[in-house]
Structure 1
Amino acid sequence: MPTPLSGLRVVEIGDRLATAYAGKLLRDAGADVVMVEPPDGHRLRHYRPVGVPPREAESPFFAFLAGGKRSVATATVPAGLLAAADIVIVGATPDGAEELGVDVDALRTVVTLSDFGWAGPWTERPATEFTLQAWCGSTASRGEPERPPIAVGGDLGEFVAGSYAAAIGLASHHGGGGRSDLSVLEAMTTSMQVFSWLRKELMLLEVVGRSTEVPSVERAKDGYVGISMATGQQWQDFCAMVECPDLADVPELRFQVGRWEQRDLVRARTADWFAAHTVEEIVELAALFRIPMTAIGNGETLRTMDHFEVRGSFVDHPSGFRAPGPPWRMSETPPLPAALPPRLGDEAPTWPNREPHSGAAGLPLAGVTIVDLTAFWAGPAATHLLAMLGADVIKIESVQRPDGMRFAGGFRADVERWWEYSWVFHGVNSGKESITLDLESDSGRELLGRLVADADVVVENFTPRVMENFGLGYDVLKGFNEKIIEVRMPGFGLDGPWRDRVGFAMTMEQLAGLAWITGYPDGLPTAPRGACDPLAGVHAAFLTVAALEHRGRTGLGQLVEVPMIDVVLNASALQVIERDVAGITLTRRGNRGHEFAVQNVYACAGEEQWIAVSVRHNDDWQALKTVLGQPNWAAALDYSTESADTIDTHLAQWFAGRPLNETVETLLAAGIPAAPVVQPPDVIDNPALRARGFFQTVEHPLCGPLPYPRPPMTGDFVRSPAPLLGQHNGEILGGALGLSAQELERLESEAVIGTWPSGL
């Protein structure tokens, strides 16, 4: 069978994980991907996590990322290779690209990917994924108040940035080409915090401080279970399940903020219940209550879980280990099978030149119409990116069940339509139009069919049973429109024993291993807090464009399945691979991570003044010793994991008496990645984000002017604010579908449409 990107030529330049993952996504979807490596090879060829013994063979993680690609080993990128490519991904700063001989202005479709982007004041600043987490407001919110803030383990930000690079690069190619200037910091700001600057603006609330969810990860009789609750009903059901029904009657506990404030009470009342039950008993009971709950997975346990075995989630890699397969299924165009990585420099292509072109005049997805049936975060993040790239997105809710994100996180008592003030809803729904349709009614389904008839794509992220219960399976949608592309985003997939379980991003993070490697070494696993919602969304956007590419060549629509759990398994693939190859179960290292010998968060002078520092290699260590004044203790220590504890102790003492911002600038000037641990709402003051126009102010009809985030690349993309519930009923149902005023009134009287949630 053909692949969606058959014939597409991609050149991947750079040694960071994000570019490698972008190239992997494109290769697995059928593109011919050529890696440009330095003469001594890609950095990841020799990658070995801290704690894994030395080995002579190349990194199996590199084999996972580079399988099926080709390799060109050179200090200067051949101009002919670039001229013949359809997409070029440049994982370098402007200075780095110049050293490689890459002229981005001469390329057909190019994505530049760097820590702070090519435009702006911080272009050449040193950074790591760890320090970018601190810059973007992710680290500050996570952890216990009496301990340092804690970063997410596993280089999650690199996977986020790589998926954006693949999606935006492919969309740009689809729309005629051009240049996209991506910032990893911006990608992480849209994904690894919850639009806290909008929360402060809309809810008039100050920063909460470090916390974890209550309940979150709990000790069971034989392991850990993870819990993720987003609704008041789930809290009430949880109280009944753990045999504490009186807790459901405490008003302060209905929201997460109140449960955090009363965490000692909640934990004391529920700990014995968890300790008396096995993980399997708890998870099975939670499924009956429709509560998102899961076992905490890791590199050892994931491969043998029944659901993954039934679905074939892990595949045999020809390099000799088990690894996650591509995180999607497509009815007409399956992904390519796993393949060996290239040997260094042995597979240079002989592509004929492409015809040059001047690039697209407008947004790349202009003219594409999307019917958006998504809710909460992952699905709306997918359609939001597509809307920002030019697609016309019609968001469909109902007055019976509006998007649940409108009600998540609390409400304002001083405004009438308080459901229009949800900050995450605003963050991922700008640029869309909203109508309401009761899809349980004949009239609602008939009107949906008329919309689908003129659409290109339908996107939904319900549990699988919902569309079936509506009577709106893919075959029914094809009856409305033979060429329709349906993108389904179930949490656990369309089949398997867990298909109908409820799951949010934190559920997937807890299950797939990200929580296992996040947290204090002596503490419980800690969920990254929802970052995998937008990660799954960007993957779905990428696959939407891939399906559009295939339809453009063949005229065929298809069903696309993008389970969130499969996306998260790919982001935590290193754990499964190293367990298989080295027999090592990677675990929590606090802020030290698994890549650098020396890395941590340190307290500076003053209250809650924290600095994040990565010492990447010996050159950084020598530079740091100079900054420290060449103390005697440092002269006796080399850059190694064996010296890390001693170095860490001395660094903690040195930072403790120094001012935060001045110290950050001193380290950066010496070429050492460093960052203040920024409180989430304060990212709005970041000079690089402001200079690049990341925040785009748009007037909302109720909330006034709001600083909406754009996609993580320069340009003006936010065309309209997040819509009011049913705001465009008249415009779309009355205009595009031609319903009369009398018909609209009748539909509203029957609650098929409306602008006010039922029961409020």
Structure 2
Amino acid sequence: MSRLRVLDLTDELARYAGRLFVGMGAEVIRIERDRTTARAERLHWHSGQRVLHLPDDAELGVVLDRLLPEADVVVESGPLDRLRTLKLRGPDWQHVAHVVVTPFGTWGPCKTWPADDVVATAAGGMAWLGGAPGEAPEPPPRAQAGQLAGTHAAIAAMLALLARQRTGVGQLAEISVQEVVAATLETGAISWIHAGTIPGRTSGVYGHVAHRVFATKDGHVAGGYSGPNRMWDDLLAWMADEGEAADLTEERWQDAAYRWQHRPYVDEVVGAFVARRTADEIATGARSRGLPWATVAAPDDVLKNPQLLDRQFFLDIDTAEGAVRDVGFPFRSLQCPVRLREPQDVDATVTWLEGVQRPRRRTAHKRGAALDGVRVLDLTWVLAGPYATKLLAEHGADIVKVESMHRQDPTRFAPSMRLRPEATYDDSGYFLNFNRNKRSLALNLRKPEAQELLRQLVPFVDVVIENFSPGVLDRWGLGYQQLRKLNPNVVLVSMAGVGQTGPWRQAVTFADTLAAMSGLTYETGHPPQGLTFGLGDMVAANAATLATLDLLHQGVGGHVDLSQLEAMAAHLGPAVLEAKPARVGSRILRTAGDDRWIAIGAATDDALATALGTTASELTDVIGEQDADALADRLQSLGFPAYPVRDGRDLVDHDPQLAAGGFYQQLDHPLAGPVAHEGVVAHLHGTPGGLWQPAPLLGQHTDELLTELLGLTPERLGNLHDEGVLE
């Protein structure tokens, strides 16, 4: 199969898209208006690409006239008034997937506003969650808004290409970076929707699971004691064996609710135990006990990680000065390169290297969405897997979510994750948000009969996504080789914490431990605070979604061995290529009101002071007297990127830009009633996605699915219910 051909006109808001396409084996021609000069950034973002520096918009039209007929994807990012491809778009663009990424979308009162990464994380609610109480919000390190936006741009392009296989034509897709960020907050906004609470800055202490960063004798580790009861029991046994459990062995501490109520004291005892040991002692001891703890690794240490080395995650880039090593891609495509060449400068006579790729045709048509006709067997739980299937569902895929009372998804069953007062497992706020558009099939997979039903379903699906521990599917006779016998074209996506292979393959991981191992936690400050929301889950989910679309587009089956750790480490940016992080000139400053802040893009104090009619020495005081929204509007009118730092309530109830785009959409749930949900990020013009139905009740569609797909009779269904197979 010939390679995709991609024209990349992105700036820093979405340049990750071009890197992802290189990782998928695409031929990428990058057209730059402003040349990337920093060596580390140029190597990381653009290796494997041919780069044309073309500041002249008039000359761009000539180049596109020659390259466009054989292009598959055109992706551009930047402020709306600087986009060039929208102005050039015409009838001869009908065959391409054309994706534009803007800070705030092409609609609403802020559509022309510029934003850098810090401003975008503030506008989308992510910056609000980082830092210490009472102090300035801190966005996550390494330009996460832009990397997330670049991933969603690549996802949108692949959705458009899949739709092209059915319709024969391409389409325009739009991405708002603010919406991308707002869709990646875990409980940041849905806590307000369901509980009327606003998660805030906690110095890295998770608000809904007992995990955090702890100091050791020589560094830091991330870990905790939430999850199944075994997590607490085995940690307590370890501490008791060392004589350091204090009074935690008393019966009252066996009550999870009591532990949660007295979490500060429990953290104090656990923290003292950790502080007497090195980071490696804690991490190694935890892995041997199946406990979710990990060393907070610096980026340089990530290069020595034995799990990543064993799985050959890292990428060598050939340069004129010799090979250099960089972090790899978030997943291994069938066409993934093992080495890259540094970016190659070309002139305006550049041509494609490959011939035209002819799209295959699919015929299924249901809602008119990009993934109509695709069926997914969803064996995932918690966040990373369900977020991936959520993305597929909102573009038309039929998601068959397999769940059970006997494998209790914490997002349904854990009280701290239900969010809604008095909620049951059928109207948990967390579950509702990430499982809309899905059908629930109750299978008690502890029973051989349920495992057999699962095998019988495989011929009727295109994709199987799972996040069991490595080896579980094989024991059920559902490993990839067995699945291929049942369905030769099936795509299996496995989402284990650190992958299916390697010396740490059985490691138990949570979002915080993956962030720690990846190097990102280290960069949250000194001492490191960690990320108090599941960024790693969403990063891994985005990678799983893109990997799935890649194989569906190629029309081949395959096993995607996705490591959530690798997906996170891929988001380090150029950290391992540079001696120290580049200084970010943007800042977040306090404004009038209780804990209200504004993010302002890179500008000198003198420039800001002049614009605001004051002096540099008085700048902070003057800004502190301003309303954040009014000041952002004023600064934007003067040419400075700026936006108020939004919290969860602001996003849902008060942000005019999100409201103008209808980002939060209501679905009517049978128990919860009308509930706002985070909306669809990829706005495809020809095959739009949507929110069509609320999250299912547990097992709501069991009989429907087994009748529809397997033809089971009412009598057979009744027997399976009686035998506890469908619980």
Same fold (TM over 0.5): yes
Paired residue secondary structure (1:705): strand
Residue in 1 that maps onto 2:98: 110
Judged with a 3 Å threshold, the aligned counterparts in structure 2 of structure 1 residues 743 and 106 are, in CA distance, closer, same or farther, namely same
Judged with a 3 Å threshold, the aligned counterparts in structure 2 of structure 1 residues 675 and 469 are, in CA distance, closer, same or farther, namely same
> Deviation of residue 344 (structure 1)?
5.0
Residue in 2 that maps onto 1:164: 152
1:523-538 pair list within 5 angstroms: 523-527=527-531, 529-538=533-542
- Residues in 2 aligned to 1:476 and 1:366: alpha-carbon distance in whole angstroms: 26
Judged with a 3 Å threshold, the aligned counterparts in structure 2 of structure 1 residues 736 and 100 are, in CA distance, closer, same or farther, namely closer
Aligned-partner residue type, residue 624 of structure 1: L
- Residues in 2 aligned to 1:385 and 1:747: alpha-carbon distance in whole angstroms: 32
- Residues in 2 aligned to 1:315 and 1:699: alpha-carbon distance in whole angstroms: 47
Unpaired stretches in structure 1, ≥5 consecutive residues: 48-58, 587-593, 635-648, 755-760
Query: Which of 58, 63, 68 pairs up with 1:82?
Result: 68
> Deviation of residue 468 (structure 1)?
2.7
Judged with a 3 Å threshold, the aligned counterparts in structure 2 of structure 1 residues 684 and 382 are, in CA distance, closer, same or farther, namely same
Paired residue secondary structure (1:462): coil
Query: Which of 13, 18, 25 pairs up with 2:20?
Result: 25
- Residues in 2 aligned to 1:348 and 1:85: alpha-carbon distance in whole angstroms: 13
Residue in 2 that maps onto 1:199: 191
Judged with a 3 Å threshold, the aligned counterparts in structure 2 of structure 1 residues 232 and 307 are, in CA distance, closer, same or farther, namely closer
Residue in 2 that maps onto 1:70: 50
Judged with a 3 Å threshold, the aligned counterparts in structure 2 of structure 1 residues 24 and 415 are, in CA distance, closer, same or farther, namely closer
- Residues in 1 aligned to 2:196 and 2:692: alpha-carbon distance in whole angstroms: 27
> Deviation of residue 253 (structure 1)?
8.7
- Residues in 1 aligned to 2:32 and 2:418: alpha-carbon distance in whole angstroms: 54
Length-normalised TM-score, structure 1: 0.85
- Residues in 1 aligned to 2:476 and 2:226: alpha-carbon distance in whole angstroms: 24
Q: Quick check: 1:130 aligned with 2:122?
A: no
Judged with a 3 Å threshold, the aligned counterparts in structure 2 of structure 1 residues 727 and 573 are, in CA distance, closer, same or farther, namely same
- Residues in 1 aligned to 2:511 and 2:418: alpha-carbon distance in whole angstroms: 25
> Deviation of residue 130 (structure 1)?
1.0
Paired residue secondary structure (2:268): helix
- Residues in 2 aligned to 1:490 and 1:697: alpha-carbon distance in whole angstroms: 33
Residue in 1 that maps onto 2:326: 323
- Residues in 2 aligned to 1:479 and 1:677: alpha-carbon distance in whole angstroms: 53
> Deviation of residue 512 (structure 1)?
0.9
- Percent identity, aligned pairs only, is 29
> Deviation of residue 500 (structure 1)?
0.8
Query: Which of 585, 595, 601 pairs up with 1:614?
Result: 601
Q: Quick check: 1:37 aligned with 2:32?
A: yes
Paired residue secondary structure (2:303): helix
> Deviation of residue 665 (structure 1)?
2.1
Conserved? CA contact 1:388–1:710, under 8 Å = no
Q: Quick check: 1:601 aligned with 2:605?
A: no
- Residues in 1 aligned to 2:53 and 2:412: alpha-carbon distance in whole angstroms: 51
Aligned-partner residue type, residue 589 of structure 2: Y
Paired residue secondary structure (2:523): coil
Query: Which of 200, 215, 227 pairs up with 1:209?
Result: 200
> Deviation of residue 341 (structure 1)?
0.9
Aligned length: 691
Judged with a 3 Å threshold, the aligned counterparts in structure 2 of structure 1 residues 603 and 232 are, in CA distance, closer, same or farther, namely farther
Residue in 1 that maps onto 2:574: 574
> Deviation of residue 459 (structure 1)?
0.8
Conserved? CA contact 1:198–1:706, under 8 Å = no
Conserved? CA contact 1:384–1:431, under 8 Å = yes
Judged with a 3 Å threshold, the aligned counterparts in structure 2 of structure 1 residues 442 and 35 are, in CA distance, closer, same or farther, namely same
Paired residue secondary structure (1:366): coil
> Deviation of residue 601 (structure 1)?
2.2
- Residues in 1 aligned to 2:420 and 2:106: alpha-carbon distance in whole angstroms: 43
Conserved? CA contact 2:376–2:400, under 8 Å = yes
> Deviation of residue 111 (structure 1)?
0.9
Aligned-residue CA RMSD in angstroms? 3.0
Conserved? CA contact 2:318–2:339, under 8 Å = no
Residue in 2 that maps onto 1:53: none
Residue in 2 that maps onto 1:643: none
Paired residue secondary structure (2:341): coil
Stretch moving more, 228-237 or 533-542: 228-237
- Residues in 2 aligned to 1:440 and 1:449: alpha-carbon distance in whole angstroms: 14
Query: Which of 215, 218, 236 pairs up with 1:219?
Result: 215
Aligned-partner residue type, residue 193 of structure 2: E
Stretch moving more, 477-486 or 316-325: 316-325
1:654-693 pair list within 5 angstroms: 654-685=622-653, 686-693=655-662
Conserved? CA contact 1:114–1:183, under 8 Å = yes
Q: Quick check: 1:147 aligned with 2:135?
A: yes
1:350-749 pair list within 5 angstroms: 350=352, 362-408=368-414, 410=416, 418-519=424-525, 521=526, 523-527=527-531, 529-551=533-555, 556-578=556-578, 582=579, 584=580, 586=581, 594-597=582-585, 599-616=586-603, 623-629=607-613, 631=615, 634=616, 651-685=619-653, 686-714=655-683, 715-749=688-722
> Deviation of residue 105 (structure 1)?
6.8
- Residues in 1 aligned to 2:197 and 2:512: alpha-carbon distance in whole angstroms: 24
Deviations, residues 664-706 of structure 1 (Å, cap 9, x unaligned): 2222222212222222233112221121121221111111111
- Residues in 1 aligned to 2:174 and 2:562: alpha-carbon distance in whole angstroms: 27
Stretch moving more, 97-106 or 474-483: 97-106
Conserved? CA contact 1:256–1:409, under 8 Å = no
Unpaired stretches in structure 2, ≥5 consecutive residues: 165-169
Conserved? CA contact 1:298–1:575, under 8 Å = no
- Residues in 1 aligned to 2:514 and 2:547: alpha-carbon distance in whole angstroms: 20
- Residues in 1 aligned to 2:420 and 2:575: alpha-carbon distance in whole angstroms: 48
- Residues in 2 aligned to 1:224 and 1:414: alpha-carbon distance in whole angstroms: 34
Deviations, residues 405-462 of structure 1 (Å, cap 9, x unaligned): 2134626799886112333322221111110112332211221112111111111122
> Deviation of residue 658 (structure 1)?
2.8
Aligned-partner residue type, residue 189 of structure 1: A
Residue in 1 that maps onto 2:167: none
- Residues in 1 aligned to 2:252 and 2:109: alpha-carbon distance in whole angstroms: 50
Conserved? CA contact 1:371–1:455, under 8 Å = yes
Residue in 2 that maps onto 1:51: none
Judged with a 3 Å threshold, the aligned counterparts in structure 2 of structure 1 residues 415 and 708 are, in CA distance, closer, same or farther, namely closer
Residue in 1 that maps onto 2:282: 282
Aligned-partner residue type, residue 209 of structure 1: G
- Residues in 2 aligned to 1:484 and 1:354: alpha-carbon distance in whole angstroms: 23
- Residues in 2 aligned to 1:699 and 1:420: alpha-carbon distance in whole angstroms: 14
Length-normalised TM-score, structure 2: 0.88
Judged with a 3 Å threshold, the aligned counterparts in structure 2 of structure 1 residues 282 and 395 are, in CA distance, closer, same or farther, namely same
Judged with a 3 Å threshold, the aligned counterparts in structure 2 of structure 1 residues 198 and 256 are, in CA distance, closer, same or farther, namely farther
> Deviation of residue 329 (structure 1)?
3.1
Aligned-partner residue type, residue 722 of structure 1: A
Judged with a 3 Å threshold, the aligned counterparts in structure 2 of structure 1 residues 86 and 26 are, in CA distance, closer, same or farther, namely same
Conserved? CA contact 2:25–2:335, under 8 Å = no
- Residues in 2 aligned to 1:697 and 1:321: alpha-carbon distance in whole angstroms: 50
Stretch moving more, 210-219 or 20-29: 210-219
Conserved? CA contact 2:401–2:438, under 8 Å = yes
- Residues in 1 aligned to 2:682 and 2:325: alpha-carbon distance in whole angstroms: 35
Stretch moving more, 538-547 or 675-684: 675-684
Query: Which of 181, 185, 204 pairs up with 1:188?
Result: 181
Residue in 2 that maps onto 1:591: none
> Deviation of residue 375 (structure 1)?
1.0
Residue in 2 that maps onto 1:293: 293
Judged with a 3 Å threshold, the aligned counterparts in structure 2 of structure 1 residues 716 and 363 are, in CA distance, closer, same or farther, namely closer
